[in-house]
């Protein structure tokens, strides 16, 4: 592995991660959503990362206020986990839509397609994605395994992509809204960009 000193360094990226759970936020059980998000993002991105982490209850006003706070703090990407089912206390999608400037329905559609490969109850999931200012906000499932599956997609035994995960589209979306350039680790999740949008940076990822 080598770096090219003639190329600019990768952008530093600030990411908001939010776990939404009445019981975890009150200490009834240990939250697993925030560690799962941080671990996956650390594997999937080459950029230097800083995280703004929040553990909050299933309260729509609190969720909306937290999302606004993270966007205002400069998070170009905000990922939430939890609160997207049909239960009475599941209000994450409504709270997310309440702060949206634009809705991005394709993310939710693709997450359900990925999850349906595993469980028929994926049709009960109500995840949404929105843009607020120059930030992309995405609701993810509540289980760590499902988080990785929806972000990364499905691969066959040889490692070939069978179903695209949603994160393949995240870097270019952030490009389009004026955010930092996210460089993925191809072995985890290869970002798709049109050839005209690909830029070169000094990285330590081997070629190929």
pLDDT in tens, the chain (208 residues): 445 568 899 999 999 999 999 999 999 889 999 999 999 999 999 999 999 999 999 999 999 999 999 999 999 999 999 999 999 999 999 999 999 999 999 999 999 999 999 999 999 999 999 999 999 999 999 999 999 999 999 888 887 888 889 999 999 999 999 999 999 999 999 999 999 999 998 875 543 3
Domain assignment present for 1: no
Domain assignment present for 208: no
Domain assignment present for 176: yes
pTM: 0.93
Domain assignment present for 202: no
Domain assignment present for 206: no
Angle (CA) 14-17-18 rounded to 5° is 145
**According to the model, what pLDDT value does residue 4 have?**
57
Domain assignment present for 5: no
Q: Is the dihedral of CA 170, 173, 175, 180 positive or negative?
A: negative
Domain assignment present for 32: yes
The C-alpha R_g of the chain, in whole angstroms, comes to 17
CATH code of residue 113: 3.40.980.10
**According to the model, what pLDDT value does residue 159 have?**
78
Which residues form the domain of 74?
A: 13-197
Domain assignment present for 190: yes
Total tally of structural domains belonging to the chain = 1
Closest CA to 17 of 45, 47, 41: 41
**According to the model, what pLDDT value does residue 144 have?**
93
Reported in sequence order, the residue ranges of 11-133 that DSSP labels E, i.e. its strands, are 13-20, 49-56, 77-81, 102-103, 129-132
The pair of structure tokens assigned to 68 is 């606004």
**According to the model, what pLDDT value does residue 207 have?**
39
**According to the model, what pLDDT value does residue 167 have?**
98
**According to the model, what pLDDT value does residue 163 have?**
86
**According to the model, what pLDDT value does residue 206 have?**
45
């Amino acid at each position: 592995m080598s770096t090219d000193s003639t190329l600019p360094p990768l952008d530093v990226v600030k990411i908001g991660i939010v776990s939404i759970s009445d019981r975890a936020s009150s200490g009834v059980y240990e939250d697993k959503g925030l560690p799962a998000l941080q671990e996956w993002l650390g594997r999937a991105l080459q950029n230097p990362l800083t995280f703004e982490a929040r553990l909050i209850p299933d309260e729509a006003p609190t969720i909306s206020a937290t999302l606004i706070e993270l966007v205002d703090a400069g998070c170009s990407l905000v990922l939430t986990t939890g609160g997207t089912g049909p239960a009475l206390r599941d209000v994450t999608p409504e709270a997310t839509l309440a702060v949206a400037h634009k809705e991005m329905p394709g993310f939710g559609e693709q997450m359900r397609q990925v999850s349906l490969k595993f469980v028929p109850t994926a049709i009960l999931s109500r995840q949404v994605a929105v843009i607020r200012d120059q930030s992309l906000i995405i609701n993810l499932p509540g289980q760590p395994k499902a988080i990785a599956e929806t972000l990364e997609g499905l691969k066959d035994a040889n490692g070939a992509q069978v179903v695209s995960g949603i994160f393949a589209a995240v870097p270019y979306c952030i490009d389009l809204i004026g955010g930092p350039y996210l460089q993925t680790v191809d072995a985890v999740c290869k970002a798709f960009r049109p050839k005209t949008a690909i830029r070169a940076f000094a990285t330590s990822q081997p070629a190929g």
